[in-house]
Amino acid sequence: MAQHIDPTLNYEETKRSIGYTDRSVSTQETYDRIGFMSGLEVHQQLKTEQKLFCRCPAGVYQKPGDFDAEVIRHMRPTLSELGEYDGTALMEFKTRKEIVYRLKSKTTCTYEVDDTPPFPLNREALSHAIEISLVSKLNIVGEVHITRKQYLDGSIPTGFQRTAIIGVEGEIPLKNKNIRLIQLSLEEDSCREVSDVGHTRIYRTDRLGMPLIETVTYPDMTNPDEVKEACNYIRFLGRSTGKVRTGIGAGRQDVNVSCKGGTRVEIKGVAHSRWIPDLTHIECFRQWSLLSIRDILNERFTDSKAWKPTHTLLDVHAYNSKNGFVKDAKTNGLKLVAVNLPGFKGILSHFTQPGKMFANELIERLKVIACIELPNMTHTEETDPLMASADWEKIAILLKPGENDAQLIIRGPEEDIKTALETIEERCRMAFAGVPPETRKSFANGTTIFERVLPGADRMYPDTDSAPIPLENEYIEKLGQNQPEEVVARYRRLKDWNVPEDCFTFIFRKNLFPLIERIVNELEMSPAFVGKFFGHAVKWVEGQYKPTAEFDYKIIYALLRFLKQNKLDPSIARRMLPTVYQYPKMEFASVLTSIGYKVVTKEQIVSKIPFLRKKLAEIRLSKGPDVEHNWIMGQLRRQAEGNMSMKDLHEALGA
C-alpha cells in the first residue's frame, strides 16, 4: 500500500482551512466567527484552622515521598439520586485503577480514608463562604444541604466530594460588561496526585478535606481575555474579604470552553489565570477542528453507524521500528495490534492544536482509559514515522485497507488490548458526531490533553450522613455587616487616585487596598505614591529577594510612619525597601545607616547646584536640552532622597 499523503503538508493545510490564527493576531471578529464561549469554576481555599468535615489541621502539607501508612481502594460506579449512572463513572470503572493513598498521621484521620462518617460541618468555613457569597451578590439558600458529588478517579477516598450550595444567581462587573454567576458552593478539597502509571494511581491526603469555595459563572465570556479578567475579579473578590488562602495551590480554576456547534469541555485545575487566554483560545480552535473532521467523515460515510474498524495481532518478530517501539515490545512482552480505520486518511494528521493532530486524541485516551503507558501507538500519518513504509505494506496485506483508510498500531500489555480497541473505536465514532464532552488537563504552553469524560448532573446524591443546616436571617445579616467595599468600587478609586493600572493586579491579588487606604488616611500620604510603592517597588523586591523572616505588609505601614515621624521624605522608602524586606526585624534607623543615608538640609543640597552647573560645562559632550537637568538630578538624587522631595529638587533646578 502506497502512502499518498504527506502528513506535515496535510497538517498545515487543515490548520489553514479551519482558519487557525495565533492569539496575538486574533480579534473579537475571530472569536465571533468560531462562536467562542467560556465560563469559569473558580476554586479558592478558605482560611480556616481545621478541615471541613473533620478536626485535622488545614494547610499542613507533606512531601510526595513522606508518609506513615498506605491504604488501597477501588472505586465502583453507583446510581445518582435520580437513578442514573454517570458517564465518567463508567469510564473510570473501565480503567480498573488501583488507588493508593499515602497518609501522614499529622494531617489525616480516619475520616479522610472514609473509615469514619463526617463530623459536623466546620462553622468557620461556613461563615467565610456566606460572607464571600454576599459580596458576590448571590441569593443565599435557606438551608444548606450536603450533597455527594461522585469522583471515581480516586482523588477522594470516599468516591465522592461532600459539597453544599451556599448561594445561587449572582453577578460580577467586568470593565465592559457584567458576568452572571450560577452558584457558589462550599466543598472539601481533593487529594494531590503523586503519580499515575499503568493501573496504579498514587495520592497524598494532606490537602484532602480542606474547605474550599467554588464560584461558577455562566458562559458569558466571549473572548480569552475576558475569561482571564473574570477569573481575576472572582479571585480578588474572595481575597478582599481576607477569608481565603493565598499562595501556591490555594486557588485553581476549571475553565469551560465551547465553540459554535461544539460541546462544553472543561479544562481542569488551571493554576494561574495568566494561562487562561492561551488555553481557551487553543481549546476553542481544537473544537473548531473537530467539527471540520466531523464534516469530512460525514461526507465520506453516509451511514456512520455502519463504520467499523478491523484489527489483527502482529508478530512482534516480523517488524522493525525506530526508537525501540517494536524492540521494547519484544523485551517487555507487549502486544502489537494493527487497526484499520476506514476513511480516516487525512484525519489522523488533521490539525487539532498547535503541535498536535487528531491521532493525539487517540493516544491520550489509550493512556487514560486503557492505562497503557506511552508510546502506546504509532500510525500511518506520523510526521516522523516510526515504521518504514515497507512494514506498513506488510501490515496492509493483513488488513486489506481501502484507498481512503488509515492504519495504526497499538502497543500494550495483553490484558489492556481489549479496552484499547474499544477506546479507539469509541473515540473514532465520536469524531462523526463532533466534539466529545471531556475534562482536559492543561499545559503551560496553552495545549491540553484528555483527562476524563465530562461528568454530568447525574453524579449527585444527597449525603445521608449529614443533616441539613438552616441559615437564619439574623445570622446572614450579621455576616453581611463586615462586608468589604466592592472590588469594582476600589478599582475606580485607584483610577481616581492616578495609580497606574499595572499596579492593580498586585494590589488586589495581595488584598493590599485596605492597607493602602489606611496609609493614605492615617499618614496623609499621596495615594498615587503609595499605590505605586506597592504595585511597583514592593512587587519588584518580592521577585528579587527572599525575606529571612516572615514579611508582613503591615511593616510597610510602620516604615512610612517612621519616615513621617522623623520628618524624612518618603522617597527614601524605595532605597530602604530591599533591606527592610530581607530583614523584617531590623530597626528602621539601622536600615538607614546600612544604606548610607546622611542628613543634609534642603539648602545644603540646593547650594550645590551652581557648582555642578559649572562642572558640567567643563565636561559635557552632548548638547540636548535636558542634559544639564538630568545630569544634576543624577548627581544629587541620592543625597536628596529622604531629605527633600524629588519634586522640590526639580523645581530648584528650574523645571
Partner 1 sequence: MTDDIFQGYKGAGLEVLKKYNVRVWGQAVITTTRGEFTGTVLPRSENDDDKHIVMKIPTGYNIGLDVATITGMKETGYKKANYKIPEKEFPYTEGLPRVKLIGTGGTIASRLDYRTGAVIPAFSPGELYGAVPELASICNLTTEKVFAVFSENMAPDNYKKLAIAIGKEIEAGVDGIVIGHGTDTLHHTAAALTFMVQNSPVPIVLVGSQRSSDRPSSDAALNLMHACTAAGHGDIAEVMICMFGPTSDEYGFLHKGTRVRKMHSSYRSTFRTIGDTPLATITRKGLKPIKETYNHRRKDRKVTILPFFEEKVSIVYYYPNMQPDIIDSLVENGYKGIIIAGTGLGHVNKLMYPAIERAAKAGVAVYMTVQTLWGYVHMFVYDTGRDLMAKGVVPAENMLPEVAYIKLGWALGQTSDLEEVKRIMLTPINDEITSREPYNGYLIYQGGVAEVEDFIRKVHK
How many residues at the interface with partner 1, by CB under 8 A?
Answer: 66
* Piece of 149-157, 352-360, 529-537, 596-604 that binds partner 1 (CB under 8 A): 149-157
DSSP-derived 3-state class of residue 54? coil
Interface residue with partner 1, options 385, 468, 547, 584 (CB under 8 A) = 468
Residue 57 binds partner 1 (CB under 8 A): no
Residue 33 binds partner 1 (CB under 8 A): no
Instruction: List Cα–Cα distances, 136 to 22, 60, 456, in angstroms.
Output: 34, 29, 25
Residue 141 binds partner 1 (CB under 8 A): yes
Neighbours of 384 (CB within 10 A): 8
Residue (205 or 292) nearer to partner 1, CB: 205
Name the minimum Å distance from CB 372 to partner 1: 23
Residue (65 or 596) nearer to partner 1, CB: 65
Interface residue with partner 1, options 27, 28, 139, 320 (CB under 8 A) = 139
Name the minimum Å distance from CB 132 to partner 1: 16
Q: How many CA atoms lie within 13 A of 613 on its CB side?
A: 9
Name the minimum Å distance from CB 568 to partner 1: 53
Which residues fall within 8 angstroms of residue 166, CB to CB, at 6 or more apart? 126, 129, 130, 133, 138, 140, 141, 144, 184, 185, 186, 213
Q: What residue has cell string 508582613?
A: 552
Residue 202 binds partner 1 (CB under 8 A): no
Residue 489 binds partner 1 (CB under 8 A): no
Residues 323, 375 contacting (CB under 8 angstroms): yes
Q: Which of residues 73-102 bind partner 1 (CB under 8 A)?
A: 73-83, 85, 89
Interface residue with partner 1, options 174, 316, 460, 488 (CB under 8 A) = 460
Q: What residue has cell string 505614591?
A: 529
Q: Cα(101)–Cα(108) distance, rounded to whole angstroms? A: 11
Residue 71 binds partner 1 (CB under 8 A): yes
Which residues fall within 8 angstroms of residue 130, CB to CB, at 6 or more apart? 140, 166, 167, 471, 475, 476, 479
Strands (E), 496-571: none
The residue among 410, 426, 421, 423 whose CA lies nearest residue 373 is 410
Q: Cα(642)–Cα(655) distance, rounded to whole angstroms? A: 20
Residue (6 or 169) nearer to partner 1, CB: 169
Interface residue with partner 1, options 40, 42, 165, 366 (CB under 8 A) = 165
Residue (160 or 504) nearer to partner 1, CB: 160
Q: Cα(220)–Cα(5) distance, rounded to whole angstroms? A: 41
Residue 552 binds partner 1 (CB under 8 A): no
Helix (H) or strand (E) holding 143: strand 143-144
Q: What φ, ψ does residue 86 adopt, rounded to 5°?
A: -95, 145
* Piece of 25-33, 180-188, 236-244, 610-618 that binds partner 1 (CB under 8 A): 180-188
The residue among 451, 454, 459, 345 whose CA lies nearest residue 408 is 345
Residue 183 binds partner 1 (CB under 8 A): yes
Residues 217, 229 contacting (CB under 8 angstroms): no
**Amino acid identity of 87?**
G
Residue (73 or 564) nearer to partner 1, CB: 73
How far, in whole angstroms, is CA 330 from its chain's centroid? 40
DSSP-derived 3-state class of residue 310? strand
In the stretch 98-137, what mask flags binding to partner 1 with x, by CB under 8 A? -------x----x--xxxxx--------------------
Interface residue with partner 1, options 23, 145, 493, 615 (CB under 8 A) = 145
Residue (183 or 273) nearer to partner 1, CB: 183
**Amino acid identity of 23?**
R
Residue 461 binds partner 1 (CB under 8 A): yes
Q: Which of residues 253-312 bind partner 1 (CB under 8 A)?
A: none
Interface residue with partner 1, options 152, 210, 336, 479 (CB under 8 A) = 152
Residue (152 or 234) nearer to partner 1, CB: 152
Residues that bind partner 1 (CB under 8 A): 67-83, 85, 89, 105, 110, 113-117, 138-145, 147-152, 157-160, 163-165, 168-169, 182-183, 185, 216, 456-462, 464, 467-468, 470-471, 473
